[in-house]
Amino acid sequence: MKQPFERVVDEHGDTVLRVCRAIVGVHDAEDAWSETFLAALRAYPDLPEDANTQAWLVTIAHRKAIDITRARRRHAVVTDDLPERPSTIGVPGSVDHELWDAVKALPPKQRRAVAYHHFAGLPYAAIAEIVGGTPAAIRRAASDGIGALRAALSASTPKE
């Protein structure tokens, strides 16, 4: 029997937000998260019971991220000029901008590999199915990406 969707959100909400922040950036991550879970909710009754829920959600998030990135490029003039609005991010400083800026600076392949492997915990083979390419290539990209990320963060982290 399929578990209530609430438990899917509870278990994977954090992971999907990490993936969204890594792929589309902090600013668009919440829209990507919402669209991912709304699409997942629609499709949930048809999800096979033995499916890997996390890989399924990351696949949806991956597609939504592509949509959002395309839309942003199309409407770049409009969306780059968002009016200031009250923060809805919650506690100021709760988003680690230093980390997400460093992730954003990675080449797209490395960024995806880091997001899906290191932040979402998917195996290389599952990631290869989502983004294309070979598991070995994903493994290399994940390794190069996390190395670059550690270097970037250590360069900006003062020694104690």
Partner 1 sequence: MIDTHTDGPDTPAVRARAVSDPDTLDRLHERLAAAASRDGLLDVAYTSVDTPVGSLLLAATGTGLVRVAFESEDHDLVLDTLAGRLGPRVLRAPARLDRAARELDEYFAGTRTSFDLPLDLALSRGFRHLVQRRLAEIEYGDTWSYARVARLVGNPGAARAVGTACATNPLPIVLPCHRVSRADGTLGGYAGGPARKSALLALEAGVRTGPRSGDTG
Cα distances from 116 to residues 89, 129, 138, in angstroms, run 24, 12, 10
**Residue 95 beta carbon to partner 1: minimum distance, rounded to whole angstroms:** 8
- Is 155 a binding residue for partner 1 by CB under 8 A? The answer is yes
10 Å Cβ neighbour count for 51? 10
Contact pick of 23, 33, 65, 127 for partner 1 (by CB under 8 A): 33
Structure-token pair, residue 10:
């509870």
Question: Radius of gyration (Cα) for the chain, nearest Å?
Answer: 17
11 backbone φψ class: left, alpha, beta (φ>0; ψ -120 to 50): alpha
Each residue 49-88 as x (binds partner 1 by CB under 8 A) or -, in order, gives ---------------------------------------x
- Give the residues lining the site for partner 1 (CB under 8 A): 1-6, 9, 13-14, 17-18, 21-22, 30, 33-34, 37-38, 41-42, 44-45, 88-91, 94-96, 99, 118-119, 146-147, 149-151, 153-155, 157, 159
